[in-house]
A and B are shown apart, each in its own frame.
Chain A
Amino acid sequence: MKHLGKALALAAFMFTANAHAEIRFGIVNEAYPPYTTKDASGKAIGWEIDLMDAVCQDLKEKCTIVDVAWDGLIPALESKKIDVIWSSMSITDERKKRIDFTDKYYSALAGIVGPKDGVMGVAPEQLKGKTIGIAVSTTHSMYFKKHLSDVATERSYSTVDESFQDLASGRIDYVFADTGPLKEFLTTDLGKGCCEFKGNVEPDDAILGAGVGGGVRKGDDELREKLNGAIKAVRASGKYAEFSKKYFDYDPY
């Protein structure tokens, strides 16, 4: 018993000692393919994980992944449970009040997917009277509030995946989200059968954000600069284009 106690204490010590020597990346544990998701064994995979690996390789740092729920990311960062938010978080003014961001590492274009009925376009007059599925508290939800709430109805989902299910069964008319996950959905059997891409909405950088970046604690400039350098290097070395090809038929930057 005594030895076990000692071993545990030692393990705990090693763990805490290690925790400071590495960069802890906060990744959302809700699936957000193709950016982050988990394979059958529970291992995190996806475009953002590939980018993280490339960045860490460039920095020659040891990186670990910490699973955090989407709404717990900023609190986890502030309470030092993680060092970076690496989870498709758009750089918005609202969030900048609480945290700092690295340079953007991809651009999130907002788009709309709907049933295969041949009606294209996403202008407000075309969305009139429709019910639109949106993941709760995303930049898309804010965009909806400002630009579309007069003409259409919002249906809130906790993840964008759940809204796809309802789109396929006809309970909502459209899904409004980032182009990445929308295009990913359209490659699945469910998406191929029912739906098509209707178009990108009019941009509004103030709300939709100036791209997606890593979130760091306010004043943690050392880490922010390091990550900025690494993102630039990964982009310049061609590695960025290399692993992006696996996921997209366009340049996500």
Chain B
Amino acid sequence: MEFGWVLEYRDLLLHGAFLTCVLLVISVVFGFSLAIILAVSQVGDNAIVRWISRGYCTFFRGTPLLIQLWLIYYGLGSYLPYIPGLRASFLWPVMREGLFFAALALTLNFAAYQGEILRGAMLAVPKGELEAARAVGMSARMILRRIWLPRAIRIGLPTFAGEVILQLKATPIVFSVTVMDLYGAAYKIRQDTLLIYEPLLLVTLFYVGLTFAITQAFQKLEKTVPVQRQHSI
């Protein structure tokens, strides 16, 4: 075991860890927002919207993330420069980076999984609670905002923790579109120094540590919003 390289590659590793966290946060925050729209439209009454959402979820859950990433980066991304004016615009410095496409692919993918889970959670909210809300005169919108969604999110919370961890472990594929995340840094170190195990061990520790932190955070969250378990009679 030899760890002398850690100092030399410190900046690369720190920046890589930072990018991994950035990708995780962006994709979870935006993905979750999109998931709410997907879930609500799937339990809603509008058939067209329902089918669009269902199609979206089936497509993104039914294809490998790597293929989605490459379709977006090398497919969609290689046509962007031909849009007149885009290359000269202020958006170009962002849109020429792999990070933009990586975040986009991860977000779209996360939203599809999360949307399905949230849809299930919404259906699991006891009918009685929604009826009670209606009985006190809440509008449909208010029920959704105050009762249905918060209850569904609480029901789905233990599953969300698992999904966020899965999302963390999906991030290393962004290296294939030139994003130097933590895995990318380890890959480079591995090839530069010809050491195989040490860089991988180091990043393994980081991923395990981050997973532990995510688990702890969700446990705390679950405790702050206790659920009244329903006892069957």
A residues neighboring B (CB under 8 Å)? 70-71, 74-75, 94-95, 98, 131, 133, 136-137, 141-142, 155-158, 162, 165-166, 168-172
Contacts and interface: CB of A to CB of B under 8 A. Distances in A.
B81 A169 contact: yes
Interface stretch (B31-39, B151-159, B182-190): B182-190
A71 B184 contact: no
A158 B175 contact: yes
B130 to A, nearest CB: 50
10 contacts: A71-B191, A95-B194, A136-B184, A136-B188, A137-B188, A156-B188, A166-B178, A168-B78, A169-B79, A170-B81
A78 to B, nearest CB: 10
Contact of A137 (B175, B178, B192, B196): B192
Nearest to B177: A162
Report, nearest first, the 5 A-B pairs whose CB atoms are least far apart.
A137-B191, A169-B78, A170-B81, A171-B96, A71-B191
B74 A171 contact: no
Given A156-B180, A170-B87, A74 B194 contact: yes
Given A169-B81, A171-B96, A98 B194 contact: yes
Nearest to B193: A94
B184 A156 contact: yes
A94, A141, A166, A171 pick with most chain B CB within 10 angstroms:
A171
B178 A157 contact: yes
B172 interface: no
A168 B191 CA distance: 27
Contacts of A168: 78
Interface of B: 74, 77-81, 87, 96, 98, 175-176, 178, 180, 184, 187-188, 190-192, 194, 196
Contact of B81 (A71, A157, A171): A171
Nearest to B101: A171
A165 B78 contact: yes
Contacts of A156: 178, 180, 184, 188
B190 A71 contact: yes
Nearest to B190: A71
B100 to A, nearest CB: 10
Contacts of B77: 169, 171
A158 B79 CA distance: 22
Contacts of A75: 196
Contacts of A133: 178
Nearest to B180: A156
Contacts of A170: 81, 87, 96
A219 B77 CA distance: 49
Contacts of B87: 170
A4 B4 CA distance: 52
Nearest to B184: A156
Given A156-B180, A170-B81, A136 B194 contact: no
Contacts of A136: 184, 187-188, 191
B79 to A, nearest CB: 8
A170 B191 CA distance: 27
Nearest to A78: B194
A158 B188 contact: no
Nearest to B96: A171
Contacts of A169: 77-81
